[in-house]
């Protein structure tokens, strides 16, 4: 009986963490982001792909997040993050490997 309760508790905890992690990545802004900044990508680096900088919505305003390196996943291609309009708001789609 104790084992079943423990299993249920663990499943509930994992589901809660997975849900909160998914929601933590969602960014919604009430206005379109500014145009991207001109950012010079560094020279290519073996085993990495450059992820260009982008605007983040933070505390009621857009804040620039500089570019960074992403480790390559063999057999995949990098899909950069981007803003999409959803009704009157704008939603950030996180970069991912496709």
pLDDT digits (tens, 9 = 90+) for 54-81: 999 999 999 999 999 999 999 999 999 9
Calpha distance 42→50 (Å, rounded): 8
For residues 44-54, give the mean pLDDT. Answer: 96
Q: What is the pLDDT of residue 61?
A: 96
pTM of the model: 0.68
φ, ψ for residue 90, nearest 5 deg: -120, 135
**Residue-wise pLDDT tens digits, 15-36:** 444 443 444 457 899 999 999 9
Instruction: Quote the CA–CA distance of 33 and 89 in Å, as a whole number.
Output: 10
Instruction: Report d(CA 38, CA 41) in Å as an integer.
Output: 9
Q: What is the pLDDT of residue 18?
A: 44
């Amino acid at each position: 009986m104790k084992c079943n309760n423990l299993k249920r508790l663990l499943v509930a905890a994992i589901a809660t963490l997975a849900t909160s992690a998914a929601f933590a990545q969602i960014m919604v802004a009430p206005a379109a982001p500014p145009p991207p900044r001109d950012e010079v990508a560094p020279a290519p680096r073996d085993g990495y792909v450059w992820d260009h900088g982008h605007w983040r919505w933070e505390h009621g305003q857009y804040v620039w997040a500089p570019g960074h390196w992403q480790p390559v996943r063999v057999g995949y291609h990098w899909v950069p993050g981007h803003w999409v309009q959803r009704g009157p708001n704008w939603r950030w789609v996180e970069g991912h490997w496709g």
